[in-house]
Structure 1
């Protein structure tokens, strides 16, 4: 499928070839969506090449092993630790353990209030009774925003709706330390969307179909899933696609160094941020409805600063938090020692704060986080190692995951997923039900592969191959239960 397949500048489709051969597909992007698409097509006996711009697989899944233990600097949770999750069969088959950090319908989403400690800016522990009371108030505030949504035809931000609710319901207003705890709850909500509350759509924020089973942390990291799915696939790392030329019966892709690849179809799974930045040129241009979908979907940003210590000097709880007068100033540490036994804390920053973190050097970011930690524990020791993610400015991601912007159409995910000729689209932002999640990205890749397969088989009229492709679909034993713990 490289340029040697071009003869005198002419692309030969399968209609023109003397000898029948399997349809060829190029998958762009080596995240879990692209790997899932390539895996499905390889299993169906298609000729597949996967082009990845980075020097590694996984995309926004990035399990770092430099601490001597796995630390996910990108995606780290299975959102919906249940059999209905599309990734559950593979996780079961690989024997990968999960550590459940929340049950269903947790206001904190990734975490509930089963194992935590919060502190104020002066280092005093916040009474747990107050945290629970303010949490109940936050639930009531969110319920009241539904009335605001019903009363207004025009969309607005969640933050604006909360302001209206507090104006109309003075009894829900919080003061002093309780106000700071409320800001912390808003901070956690912002972390779920990787965006500030003034950017989150009131009409769409609660429309996501969240699977049951709560949220499970991947104890050994996500890389074993990437490794298993990518086995025996023809993968080309350091291949950044710059141009996609779409013909009626084929595509030609040009990478950064000028080389070209040709195939019958392509599956595009690059992050939405890359599409929004127009880093790939489409010839001819994509149709207006596709361009609008790319433009109108939001991309959030969430970063992690991971700190490894000699020993764990903090309480044996799942997370540590700092409450503050604004959600921007609130803080949150994931305690990996609780889930994995390793003396590692991971500080989480979302929205504008995540972009501000990226303006700092790695050392300055780690120093800032240590200032936050020392507000909680004055005798905190220096970390022996640290890691800093930069998803917002990374040219291969330009953001963490998609979200709904204020005033935009709710069908944008469906439009982003829709094919254009023999171009098919995957990635988490192309998941119509579970955008922003790993299993959503995985399912979108499988769906793109299936749509591509049907399109090419219909185009070539190769029913023999259709039967072969159907018979080669692999199934994974589902009788093994998920390994879920909570210590």
Structure 2
């Protein structure tokens, strides 16, 4: 048994190892950098940023292919500047001279494959005039999808999956080519299937974006360069500022000093219902008050962040961990997170978007940007091939790179396989399309879902997640002077899944902290219980449904009668 004096000594030594600061930022990805940048702009510099890897950038992450003529840098993570609200990222790219090229989705050739049972036989490339047969019906659906979603919302109809919506609107893919075209338009964007994705909150919002330009990053410095450069403005060119702690892994977050963690400053007496919140008492707004600015005071509750490099303490701690990391419970929370927070975390989705790169000695494919392989047996199997040597991309010669994308269940299945097995499968597809294709010089098979620092590629809004769930996902825990914040791309209502969602949420969280130090914390809105609305029962007899001669009477109007008629230009 240790002497009492030695116990006092060890306790004092442990306390002295704690690094006290005003703000601890967990994660050196896009949100973490944005948050630190915003705090600095408001003259709050007493913060620490913790990052488990040996570099910044998070899911803005490059990798290198090794070839006989030299190395080729590719984007393992985010690759496009795209989507709603992308203007801040466009501005950063312009500021730091990031090299990009516009993606031309109409530059695509289609191959009707025979699948794994080809046995040496080969399918065929389609002539351009043959593609209308499987594209036009889907294009009609997607033109009308935003209007149909708006009509459902205006009539307080429940959210449905994208698959249910496509079926109601008479798009039902039957042929392999139809399934492939649908995959390119849905899974390739959301990294989840139509059966999994929310029609109202994910698909319809995206489908409503007109004339969108997507810029593909082809800069050898990587997409991460613009964010690392922003970090260097705070931490110095060599990133040696003591406030930046690389190679530091968080294992426990102890916020017990804030209370029991079951609420955020008060007791919620009502429940959230339906779609979105209102002001009739269904939700509770907790006042966040912080009267102490400048320095951390001893009597102020602090959150403890335990890492493999020591303990950090602050009244404000920000988790920028992905939804996937939160779902896998790779970090321990003391006390356990409240039920309303856990429900939000496990209701949302972390998708898998796997970009597999192959470096070849020579280019054996054409100049089109996309090569679409239609597999007759499995939807999305090695389907979307992108030519990284297309005009405007990598220069021709040594950089002969093809990228194929796998999403959802197929991507997760790939992660369980070896690189050699993936290469062998992919070569079967390439050889069916192009004949005698040599083995690649190098290949890159990312495994985002298996990586404990990411646990997936980006978030998606699934069927079953309500606005209240998403609101709870980003709400803080705590009260009065100390708060545990949650940030990151998944907490963005408008740009979840996008780079700008991560950047904007970092700014938003930092501004809330700045307001707290000024004594005017924003209110925290929490739905402690999300319930369903009461439904009115509808009764109808067979006689009221069909009249003489079988003509349908009553019921909902047909699609063309309820959708706003918009004249849109057909795709070329």
TM-score range, shorter chain: 0.7 to 0.9
2:84/2:494 contact within 8 Å kept: no
Query: 2:477 aligns to what SS in structure 1?
Result: coil
Whole-Å Cα distance in 2 between the matches of residues 174 and 313 of structure 1? Answer: 32
Within a 5 Å distance, the mapping from 1:59-458 to structure 2 comes to 59-67=58-66, 68-80=71-83, 85-102=87-104, 112-113=105-106, 115-121=107-113, 122-142=122-142, 147=148, 150=152, 153-166=157-170, 179-188=175-184, 189-204=186-201, 205-208=203-206, 213-220=212-219, 221-231=222-232, 232=235, 234-246=243-255, 247-248=257-258, 249-255=301-307, 257=308, 259-325=310-376, 326-329=378-381, 331-338=383-390, 339-341=393-395, 342-421=399-478, 422-458=483-519
The answer for the alignment partner of 1:24 in structure 2 is 22
Instruction: Tell me, yes or no, if the aligned pair for 1:28 and 1:50 is still in contact at 8 Å.
Output: yes
Tell me the SS of whatever aligns to 1:408: coil
Q: Secondary structure at the match of 1:69?
A: strand
- Please state whether the residue corresponding to 1:320 is helix, strand or coil: strand
Q: TM-score, normalised by structure 1?
A: 0.80
Give the 3 Å change call, closer, same or farther, for CA 402–174 of structure 1 in structure 2. closer
Instruction: Give the Å deviation of 1:9.
Output: 6.9
Distance 2:211 2:142 in 1: 21
Task: Flag the 1:226–1:76 CA change in 2: closer, same or farther, 3 A.
Answer: same
Q: Distance in 1 between matches of 2:468 and 2:188?
A: 23
CA RMSD of aligned residues (A): 2.9
When Rg is computed on C-alpha atoms for both structures, the one with the higher figure is: 2
- Partner of 2:372: helix, strand, or coil? strand
SS in 2 for 1:334: strand
TM-score between both structures, scaled by the size of structure 2? 0.69
Distance 1:424 1:211 in 2: 34
Question: What SS class does the counterpart of residue 55 from structure 1 fall into?
Answer: coil
Tell me the CA shift for residue 337 of structure 1: 0.8
Looking at structure 2, the residues matched to 198 and 330 of structure 1 have their Cα atoms a distance apart, in angstroms, of 20
Native 8 Å contact 1:123 1:377 kept in 2: no
- The question of whether the paired residues in 2 share the 8 Å contact of 1:81 and 1:216 is answered with no
Indicate if the aligned counterparts of 1:91 and 1:225 stay in contact, CA closer than 8 A.
yes
2:180–2:379 CA contact under 8 A, matched in 1: yes
SS at structure 2 position matched to 1:344? strand
State the alpha-carbon separation in 1 of the partners of residues 331 and 518 from structure 2. 27
CA contact (8 A) 2:173 2:182 kept: no
Contact 2:83 2:495 in 1 (8 A): no
Shift of 1:92: 0.5
Retained in 2: the 8 A contact 1:267–1:449? Answer: no
Where does the alignment leave 5 or more consecutive residues of structure 2 unmatched?
1-10, 114-121, 236-240, 259-300, 522-572
Distance 1:239 1:70 in 2: 26
Contact map agreement 1:293 1:412 (CA 8 A) in 2: yes
* Partner in structure 1 of residue 268 of structure 2: none
1:199 aligned counterpart, secondary structure: coil
Q: Could you give the per-residue CA deviations for residues 164-193 of structure 1, whole angstroms, max 9, x where no partner exists?
A: 444xxxxx6666xxx222111221111211
1:200, 1:405 within 8 Å by CA — same for their partners in 2?
A: yes
Count the aligned residue pairs. Answer: 428
CA contact (8 A) 1:79 1:211 kept: no
Given that 2:380 and 2:406 are in contact with CA atoms closer than 8 Å, whether structure 1 keeps it comes out as no
8 Å Cα contact 1:194-1:301 kept in structure 2: yes
Q: 1:328 to 1:87 in 2, by over 3 A?
A: closer
> Quick one: distance in 1 between partners of 2:311 and 2:249?
11
Change (3 A) 1:304 1:129: same
Distance change >3 Å, CA 135–CA 211, structure 1 → 2: closer
CA-to-partner distance for each residue in 1:399-429, whole Å, 9 max, x for gaps?
A: 1111112122034333222222311222110
Q: For structure 1, which segment, 31-40 or 73-82, has the greater mean C-alpha deviation from structure 2 after superposition?
A: 73-82
- 8 Å CA contact 1:331, 1:372 repeated in 2: no
